[in-house]
């Protein structure tokens, strides 16, 4: 979208071309998964891609800005050591492969919805997060690893979080370089205290990544 606008393309065309380009780019990944015997096509992945592209297109058409944004956070877990072939063999690839350490967030700035207050900084967001725990396999956890060694039992769990966040794009600076850095890093969820909900139980986290 930004590239289209920079090139002088109209607003509406920039929105549609930009949103659909992101969707088409990831369609290539889904196609490669579909013809791979080790993976296979995933309708839920296609649905998630469509949801993400639609979020951008819909908000830009309705509000001319992104009031709710998707964000990402990661923290290493104990699970990758049991399936390094699947979950990553180093920190450099585990952040991408180990879903147990990933949290995906919907982050919204209250000021963008008209909830303005002198007590709330303009950069403060509220965020809802989704993660998993105990996954060392795709559809199910295997009993043995690729070398035939028995694996521990882990209960597979879904985790939901409520937390605060920082909209890095709203931090004021005169430096064009720093502004570009903040804009580029704005997809990362800033660590904050959080309330987690797992298997019917609430838990307070002093700091959640």
| Average pLDDT for 129-155 | 91
Are 186 and 168 in contact, with CB atoms under 8 Å apart? Answer: yes
How distant is the alpha carbon of residue 35 from its chain centre? 25
> Which residues is 165 bridged to in the sheet?
125
Distance CA 64, CA 59 (A): 7
Residue 21 is encoded by which pair of tokens? 């380009």
Is pLDDT of 38 > 70? Answer: no
The sign of the torsion formed by the CA atoms of 115, 164, 92, 51 equals negative
- Residues 117-133: pLDDT tens digits? 777 888 999 999 999 99
> What is the pLDDT confidence band of residue 114, given thresholds at 50, 70 and 90?
confident
* DSSP conformational letter for 7: T
Residue 156 is encoded by which pair of tokens? 């597979």
Distance CA 96, CA 73 (A): 11
Distance CA 51, CA 44 (A): 10
For the question of whether the overall pTM of this predicted structure is more than 0.85, the answer is yes
- Residues 55-73: pLDDT tens digits? 999 999 999 999 999 999 9
The sign of the torsion formed by the CA atoms of 51, 33, 153, 85 equals negative
| Average pLDDT for 21-49 | 85
């Amino acid at each position: 979208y930004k590239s289209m606008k920079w090139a002088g393309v109209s607003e509406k065309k920039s929105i549609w071309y930009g949103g659909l380009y992101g969707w088409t780019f990831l369609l290539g990944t889904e196609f490669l998964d579909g013809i791979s015997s080790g993976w296979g096509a995933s309708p839920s992945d296609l649905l998630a891609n469509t949801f993400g592209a639609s979020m951008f297109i819909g908000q830009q058409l309705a509000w001319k800005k992104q009031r709710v944004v998707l964000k990402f956070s990661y923290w290493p877990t104990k699970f990758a050591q049991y399936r390094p072939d699947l979950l990553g063999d180093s920190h450099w690839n585990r952040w991408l492969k180990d879903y147990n350490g990933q949290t995906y967030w919907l982050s919204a700035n209250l000021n963008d919805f008209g909830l303005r207050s002198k007590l709330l900084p303009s950069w403060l967001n509220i965020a809802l997060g989704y993660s998993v725990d105990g996954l060392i396999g795709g559809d199910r956890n295997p009993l043995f690893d690729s070398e035939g060694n028995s694996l521990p039992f882990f209960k597979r769990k879904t985790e939901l979080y409520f937390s605060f966040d920082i909209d890095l794009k709203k931090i004021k600076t005169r430096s064009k370089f720093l502004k570009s850095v903040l804009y580029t890093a704005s997809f990362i969820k800033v660590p904050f205290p959080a309330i987690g909900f797992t298997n019917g139980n609430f838990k307070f986290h002093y700091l959640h990544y």
